[in-house]
Amino acid sequence: MPASQPRSRARDRNNVLNRAEFLSLNQPLKGNQESRSSGRKQSSQAGAAGAQNSNPKERRQSQQLPEEDCMQLNPSFKGIAFNSLLAIDICMSKRLGVCANRASSWGGARSMINLLGITGHGIPWIAGTLICLVKSSTLAGQEVLMNLLLALLLDIVIVAGLQKLAKRKGPYDINPGLLDYLTMDTYAFPAGHASRAAMLSKFFLNHLVLAIPLRILLVLWALCVGFSRVMIGRHHITDVLSGFVFGYLQFRLVELIWMSSNTCQMLISIW
């Protein structure tokens, strides 16, 4: 036994792992273990206290936030459909703008298309209505002309107001003309020429006795005036179509507030 003890001590001295620099590998220090365990306990206690102090509403909001973010990032079906139709409208309007400038495919016909658009402008129609009203001598003619003048003025006011609200630009960067500034027709939606042409054609079809060929020509004139604005790059297709709809609604409004012959005579006498 006494001989075996010196041998074991010699083995322990020769063992490399028993050296001071290798003690951490063989046997971790107690201080590190205690600090780590105390840190874990404190963090777990703080987490439990925070979980107890947090309200159920906050937990629900934290759980729902990722889902809400995903819902906001995913567009709706209506939004996709609207953006697709808008893109198709812009693309088709630019393709149909064959007279948008001199370098376009139909650039040589731009002057003729502009002349067709002037036939649907408000200033010539208001001036012509006033001249006819001065020269008219019948009560029925004066009644029709006074209501036509009212319809033209309402068209300018309504279209200008809608354009100011929408503020939609045309498919091409084209500056409005002098006559457009006079009637406040400076934006694209809705098309003022289209609304005026639709309103006038419906007005004449209802209050004038016209032959069938003239009635057909009147409808074709309204359509050509509307789509001539697309050809020169001033309006989109939807601007013209909405202009036709607003023109019909303006005609219905004038029919509702139709001025009688006595009212027209009173206004003419004041004027």
User: What gap in Å lies between CA 264 and CA 167, rounded to an integer?
Assistant: 36
Tokens 């107001």 sit at which residue?
161
Please confirm, yes or no, whether 236 is among the known catalytic residues: no
One-character DSSP codes across 202-270: HHHHHHS---HHHHHHHHHHHHHHHHHHHHTTSS-HHHHHHHHHHHHHHHHHHHHTPPPHHHHHHHHHH
Evaluate whether 221 touches 170 at the Cβ level (below 8 Å).
no
Using alpha carbons only, give the angle 97, 98, 99 rounded to the nearest 5 degrees: 95
Amino acid letter, residue 53:
N
Please confirm, yes or no, whether 193 is among the known catalytic residues: yes
Of 121, 207, 235, 236, which one is the catalytic site residue?
235
Of 121, 193, 207, 236, which one is the catalytic site residue?
193
Please identify every residue annotated as catalytic: 193, 235
